[in-house]
Amino acid sequence: MRPESPENHTDMFAYYFQLGLRSLRRNPVLTALMVMAIGFGVAASMITYSVFRAVSGNPIPAKSERLFTPQIDSWGPQQNIQGEPPYALNYVDAMALMRAHRALRQTLLYPLWLSVSPEGGRSLPVGANGYAAYGDFFPMFEVPFRYGAPWSAADDAHHAAIVVLSEALNQHLFGGADSVGREIVLGGHAYRVVGVAGHWDPKPRFFAVWGGSNGFQRDPADFYLPFTRAIDLKLDTAGNNSCRGKPDFSGWEGWLRSNCVWITPWVELEGEAEAARYRGFLESYAADQQRAGRFAWAPNVRLRDVMQWLDYLQVVPPESRIALVVALGFFVICLVNTVGLLLAKFMRRAGEIGVRRALGAPRRQIYAQYLVEAASVGLAGGVLGLLLTALGIGGVGVLFKPQIARLAQLDFPLVGLCLAVAVLATLLAAFYPAWRAAQVQPAWQLKSH
């Protein structure tokens, strides 16, 4: 046995590592059991975590606390959603908020579905999905631009026939060239291209959670056009429309005057003070409506920021949360199992430990030796876990809806996390067995040999 000098740490570490590997080879079955337990445990946790991370993340971290969606109760206590205002605005209230213009930036939006006429009339038309919005939409949500720029407030005011394309639709229609100034036909109406957005598809799509696959839409948006123009052309919403009472209207104009909600508003507010002021404005607007006899109830308004809104609409699918919890429970059991197996493995070598202790090795060294051995088991488990995670993420489409499964990715942080969790968890599991090993009484062990 080599001399044990506490000064020579790296040497001892390497030596313990070798000892560990040798010991692992001595009981291949036990070792395989431990490595597999850790591998499966860490892989199950990582796969479900990768999905959970994707669906529960903040889609716009830099601004999420400055973006708010106002809600106004236009249905009243008998017909609202258990005391909460409807999830969207009707046309009358939406336009009133826009006219008041109390926010730094503001937009209304609703989803559209339009046909794109093929060039030259040869191939079949294709469908495209997009949003009707105000020009503030783009700076508010930090939409990157490949070509051109957002449209202006004047364009909104003039109900301009203009459009911002996504990179994908620009690729489809113009082969990716700078199409600013060109014309396209959507749903039978011509629009002039003013900009092409770069790749932009926040997940969840926080600004269109209500009535849009709960924020996990199948395809990214293809185009954006002015809200005012869309209303002129009577472009129907491709999203939800929810009414109360006995709607007695017929046709487009009647619908705009009805209590049907279908428009999502967003405002950008600088800081808490301004948010409080805006909340006050919503209160006073609702109070005005009550006084005017439009609402027969006291003001009931909300102003939720991005994360509060996602939380309120329960965007994280319960499946992904249950799966994560079950996988973590599974990992805990794997660790308990590892504690037992390590204990068996270490205590089997009580005689060996007795000899080392009798030759003068302090308890610290015994600790170190067995923790290093455990860490090497953990590392092996982590590598196995990584392989299983990669396989699992490839097959995660079996477990979740495709638009959610697609979000799970094995990236660099996940690889690091997987290995780190495997090693740290195994070390944690090894503390008690290593402590027991270090408690071995040299004299007692030597006696029976």
Partner 1 sequence: MQIKPILAALRRHKAGTVLIVLQIALTLAIVCNALFIIQQRLAHLSEPTGIDEANLFVIANQWAGGSLSTAQIDAQIRADLAALRQLPSVRDATPSNSYPLRGGGWDNFVALTPEQVEPTSDAAVYLGDEHLLDTLGVKLVAGRNFRADEVGAIGLRENVVPSVVIVTRELAERMYPGGAALGKPLYAMSATPSTIVGIVERLQTQSVEAWQAAYAYQSMLWPLRQAWPIGLYYIVRAKPGQLDAAMREAPRALYAQSRQRILDPADGGSFAEIRRRAYDSDRGMAILMGVICAVLLAITAAGIVGLTSFWVGQRRKQIGVRRALGARQRDILGYFLTENLLISGGGVLLGVLLAVAMNLWLVVRFAMPPLSLAYVAVGVVLLLLLGQGAVLAPALRASKVPPVEATRSV
- The C-alpha atoms of residue 107 and residue 268 are separated, in whole angstroms, by 9
Please tell me what DSSP assigns to residue 204: S
**Which window, 9-17, 137-145, 313-321, 366-374, contacts partner 1 (CB under 8 A)?**
313-321
Q: State in angstroms the smallest separation of the CB of 268 from partner 1.
A: 31
Torsion, CA 34, CA 37, CA 40, CA 44, rounded to 10: -130
Q: Which distant-in-sequence residues (6+ apart) come within 8 Å of 208 by Cβ?
A: 109, 111, 131, 215, 217, 239, 264
Element (H, E) at 395: none
Regarding 337 and contact with partner 1 (CB under 8 A), the answer is yes
Q: Are 339 and 432 in contact (CB under 8 A)?
A: yes
Which residues inside 102-121 make contact with partner 1, applying CB under 8 A? 113, 115, 117
Please provide the DSSP assignment of 47-110 as one string. HHHHHHHHHHS-SSTTTTTTEEEEEE--S-TTTSBTTBPPSSB-HHHHHHHHHH--SSEEEEEE
Regarding 280 and contact with partner 1 (CB under 8 A), the answer is no
Three-state DSSP state, 402: helix
Regarding 329 and contact with partner 1 (CB under 8 A), the answer is yes
| Contact pick of 177, 298, 332, 446 for partner 1 (by CB under 8 A) | 332
Regarding 448 and contact with partner 1 (CB under 8 A), the answer is yes
- Which amino acid belongs to residue 308? Q
Q: Are 306 and 206 in contact (CB under 8 A)?
A: yes
Q: Which distant-in-sequence residues (6+ apart) come within 8 Å of 356 by Cβ?
A: 1, 365, 366
Q: Are 12 and 364 in contact (CB under 8 A)?
A: no
Closer CB to partner 1, 233 or 383, in the complex: 233
Please tell me what DSSP assigns to residue 263: B
| Contact pick of 157, 276, 296, 333 for partner 1 (by CB under 8 A) | 333
Q: Are 233 and 32 in contact (CB under 8 A)?
A: no
Regarding 168 and contact with partner 1 (CB under 8 A), the answer is no
Q: State in angstroms the smallest separation of the CB of 65 from partner 1.
A: 26
Regarding 318 and contact with partner 1 (CB under 8 A), the answer is yes
CB burial readout 171-202, b (16+ within 10 A) else e: eebbeeeebbeeebebbebebebbbbbeebeb
The two three-digit tokens of residue 443, written as one number: 């004299």
**Which window, 2-10, 12-20, 231-239, 361-369, contacts partner 1 (CB under 8 A)?**
231-239
Regarding 387 and contact with partner 1 (CB under 8 A), the answer is no
Closer CB to partner 1, 12 or 169, in the complex: 169
**Which window, 135-143, 266-274, 284-292, 330-338, contacts partner 1 (CB under 8 A)?**
330-338
| Contact pick of 196, 221, 341, 375 for partner 1 (by CB under 8 A) | 341
**Which window, 145-153, 264-272, 316-324, 438-446, contacts partner 1 (CB under 8 A)?**
316-324
| Neighbour count for residue 122 (Cβ, 10 Å) | 6
Closer CB to partner 1, 263 or 323, in the complex: 323
The two three-digit tokens of residue 167, written as one number: 């990179």
Question: Could you tell me the CA-to-CA distances from 421 to 15, 122, 192, 274, 429 in Å, in that order?
Answer: 24, 57, 53, 43, 12
Regarding 28 and contact with partner 1 (CB under 8 A), the answer is no
| Contact pick of 40, 297, 312, 431 for partner 1 (by CB under 8 A) | 40
**Which window, 167-175, 232-240, 265-273, 281-289, contacts partner 1 (CB under 8 A)?**
232-240
Q: State in angstroms the smallest separation of the CB of 151 from partner 1.
A: 22
Q: State in angstroms the smallest separation of the CB of 332 from partner 1.
A: 6
Closer CB to partner 1, 44 or 306, in the complex: 44
| Contact pick of 78, 154, 272, 413 for partner 1 (by CB under 8 A) | 78
Regarding 255 and contact with partner 1 (CB under 8 A), the answer is yes
Question: Any idea how long the chain is?
Answer: 449
| Contact pick of 22, 199, 348, 364 for partner 1 (by CB under 8 A) | 348
Closer CB to partner 1, 37 or 196, in the complex: 37
Closer CB to partner 1, 271 or 402, in the complex: 402
Q: State in angstroms the smallest separation of the CB of 24 from partner 1.
A: 14
Regarding 176 and contact with partner 1 (CB under 8 A), the answer is no
Residue with tokens 């692992």: 24
Closest CA to 210 of 265, 173, 136: 265
Q: State in angstroms the smallest separation of the CB of 365 from partner 1.
A: 22
Closer CB to partner 1, 279 or 436, in the complex: 436
**Residues within the interface to partner 1 (CB under 8 A):** 30, 33, 36-37, 40, 44, 78-79, 113, 115, 117, 124-127, 185, 187-189, 218, 233-234, 236, 238, 243, 245-252, 254-255, 317-319, 321-323, 326-327, 329-330, 332-334, 336-337, 339-341, 343-345, 347-348, 398-402, 432, 436, 448-449
